[in-house]
């Protein structure tokens, strides 16, 4: 069975994306190299590893749900604290406001029903980053038990390095303009865009 690693995300608007790419460059030892065309800065809503022949079915259900809910309160989200994972990976935590929590629970509940959590290799990712070829396998396996639902913490990963680079964004707002589905690369990066829609169109 062939599987595909998917990430449903909120995308910062063009101005914020460009700024995040520049901030990523301030981390001299970062493994994660962000850009506005691949390895795109994002806020994950939910992810899963789905049988490749069921992607269209899942996407249709995602679209049906997203067409009937108001996402306008997600156009701007506050940064209350700095995100840190495995000591060296840094970024920004975003406020888990009620509309975002509701969206996560709904999308995670749907995507969990398609999820395969026993992967041991990286062949479900579209890009294998040489410096992190296995990163993301275990994270995706454990997503629904360790990182989703009551454990969900919305964040944007900037890269690997000092938290000082992130500090000046504290208590500021990040603006988003699209919700999108990506085929992930290793490291849970957003690489191949499969579908997107503007938040303001909902």
DSSP string, the chain: --EEEEEEEEEE-HHHHHHHHHHHTT-TT-S----SSSS---EEEEEEEEEGGGHHHHHHHHHHHHTTS--GGGSEEE--EEEEETTTEEEEE----HHHHHHHHHHHHHHHTT------SSTTSS---TTSSSTTHHHHHTIIIIISGGG---EEEEEES-GGGGGGGTT-EEEEEEEEEEEEETTTEEEEEEEEEEGGG-
- What was the pLDDT predicted at 194? 98
- What was the pLDDT predicted at 200? 78
pLDDT level of residue 195 (50, 70, 90 thresholds): very high
What percentage of the chain carries pLDDT values higher than 90? Answer: 93
- What was the pLDDT predicted at 150? 98
- What was the pLDDT predicted at 163? 93
pLDDT level of residue 85 (50, 70, 90 thresholds): confident
Averaged pLDDT score across all residues of the chain: 95
- What was the pLDDT predicted at 104? 98
């Amino acid at each position: 069975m062939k599987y595909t690693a998917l990430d449903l995300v909120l995308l910062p608007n063009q101005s914020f994306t460009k700024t995040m790419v520049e901030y990523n460059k301030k981390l001299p030892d970062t493994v994660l190299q962000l850009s506005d065309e691949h390895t795109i800065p994002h806020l994950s809503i939910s992810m899963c590893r789905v049988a490749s022949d069921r992607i269209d079915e899942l996407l249709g259900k995602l679209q049906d749900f997203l067409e009937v809910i108001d996402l306008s309160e997600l156009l701007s989200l506050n940064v209350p604290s700095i995100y840190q994972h495995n000591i060296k990976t840094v970024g920004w935590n975003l406020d888990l406001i009620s509309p975002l929590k509701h969206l996560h629970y709904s999308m995670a509940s749907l995507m969990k029903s398609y999820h395969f959590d026993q992967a041991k290799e990286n062949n479900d990712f579209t890009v294998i980053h040489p410096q992190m070829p296995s990163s993301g396998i275990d994270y995706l396996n454990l997503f629904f038990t360790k990182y989703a639902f009551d454990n969900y913490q919305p964040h944007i990963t900037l890269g690997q390095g000092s938290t000082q680079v992130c500090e000046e964004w504290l208590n500021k707002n990040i603006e988003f303009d699209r919700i999108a589905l990506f085929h992930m690369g290793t490291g849970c990066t957003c690489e191949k865009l499969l579908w997107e829609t503007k938040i303001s169109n909902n």
